[in-house]
Structures are given as structure tokens and as C-alpha cells.
Structure 1
Amino acid sequence: MKTSARNQIKATVTEIIGGTVNSEVVMDVAGTPLKAIITKEAVSEMGLTAGSEVYAIIKASFVMIAKEKPGKISTRNVIETTVSDMIEGPVSCELKLAMGSAVLTAIITEEAAKELGVAKGDTVYALIKASAIILAQ
């Protein structure tokens, strides 16, 4: 499978919380929990159960960054990471974020990177809406 999404992260489903239309799929990524919201129909069509292996596909531009852990927030995924690499450009900045043995890529504006004072080695929080994650097998 080839996609333009920078993040195609292998995960193991640990729990599925079924709803009327959508289900929350809780996964483990190298010891880090990750939650996705997909349709109940997609869960059935993919045959997802606890223990299923999936790929969480996330566009790098869907990953928001915070220097401090947010308080009350509706975003289901707030993941503590470490900036392992950083490529700065005139418009955008690419951050490689270590979360255990997995790497998450984020693209933020160069202006935002400077305002946040993000540097290689920093601890940052990756914020990802559960509805922004696509699952694949």
C-alpha cells in the first residue's frame, strides 16, 4: 500500500467501543495508546477485533504540536513525544517525533515552530483528533 500520508504506523487493536454509527478503536503503538473513530460498518468489514493488526494512517499536517500538556481538551490523542529530527524551511517545518520505538511525523508552519521554540531533543505533545485517523490492513 502506498499513500501520500507521512504516517503509516503499525498498531495492534486493544479495544473496540461500539456505537450506533461509529466505533472507537483503541490501539497500541509501541506502548502508546492511540484512538481512532471509524464507522461501525468499517469495523465489521475489516473484521477488527482485539488483537487485530492495523496501520494508522495520519497526514502529517493533521498532527498538532503543544509544548505543554493541554488541560481539558476534546482531542482524544494527546501523546508525549520527543523531537528526534527537525527540518526547517521557509514556510513549513517537518518534525520527527519519537513515541517509543515508533516515529510520528508532524508538519507545522515555520512561524509556529519559532513561536513554540521547538528544537531537536524537546519533549512536545502531539495532538491528533481520533476522526483524523484512517485505519488500513
Structure 2
Amino acid sequence: MKISARNIFEGNISALTSGPVSAEVEIITAGGDKLVGTITQGSVASLGLAVGKPVVALIKASNVMVMTDGSGVKLSARNCLAGTVKKLLQGPVSAEVIIALPGGAEVFASITRDATNELGIKEGGPATAVIKASSVIIGVKS
């Protein structure tokens, strides 16, 4: 599969909570990270999703927010993946931040250059990737 999404996580469904319109899909990645995505019931059915099924979670880098100090902050975003800034590549307008997670995975974020300066993002420093559940696309291998 070739795709433009920079974040591709393989894992297994650990929980599936159904609602009248949408479902919440919890995935445990190979590195032990937990991701939560919300998708339609139609997608659950067409993909044949069930607990234990292997899936792929896709997230565009532009849908990843970066937080450097979350002390005392509660967020509605279901996915907060804490790690260390592995690489910071700055352009004149935007920057790419690569956050290494403890389980070995990497999260790519595309944010503004001003945000990297305001947040004090530095290679080797702590950072958390913040991803809304609605930004997680779930796929299965055929």
C-alpha cells in the first residue's frame, strides 16, 4: 500500500464500542501504544471489524497537534501519545516534528514554524502527539 499519510500504525482491535451512528475502535499497536478512532457503523460492517482483528490506523501529519506541557490540562482528544522529539525539520513557514514513542513507533506532525518556537520544541525534548479520534482512519488488509 502506498499512501500519503505519514503515520501508519499496525495493531489489533482491543475494544469496539458501538453507538447508533458511530463506533469507537480501540487499537493496541505492535509497540503497545493505544489509539482510538471513531468511524461509522457502515465502515465497521464493511471492514468486518471485531475485537482481535488486525487493522491499520492512518493519520495525516497535518492532523497531529503537538503539546510540550500538558500539566493540569484535560483534553477532549482521545489520543495523547507522549514521547521525545527525535527530529525537527524547520522550513520558512512550517515544520515537521517527529516524536519517538517509548514502544519504538514514530509520530509525524506538520505544524507551523511559529508554533515550534512558541512551544520551545527541541530535538531530544519531551513532546506529546495529540490526535482527535475522528482523524484516525482505519483500514484492513485484504
Q: How does 1:1-137 map to 2 (within 5 A)?
A: 1-29=1-29, 30-69=31-70, 71-99=73-101, 100-137=103-140
TM-score, scaled relative to structure 1: 0.95
Tell me the amino acid that sits aligned with residue 85 of structure 1.
K
Query: What is the aligned residue count?
Result: 137
**How far apart are the structure 1 equivalents of 2:18 and 2:92?**
44
TM-score, scaled relative to structure 2: 0.91
Secondary structure of the residue that 1:119 maps to in structure 2? coil
Superposition misfits of 4+ residues, deviation over 4 angstroms:
none
Q: Percent identity?
A: 39
In structure 1, runs of 5+ residues without a counterpart are: none
Deviations 1:88-115 (A, max 9, x none): 1111111111122111100111110011
Tell me the amino acid that sits aligned with residue 24 of structure 2.
E
Secondary structure of the residue that 1:43 maps to in structure 2? helix
Tell me the amino acid that sits aligned with residue 33 of structure 2.
T
- Once superposed, what is the RMSD of the aligned Cα atoms? 1.1
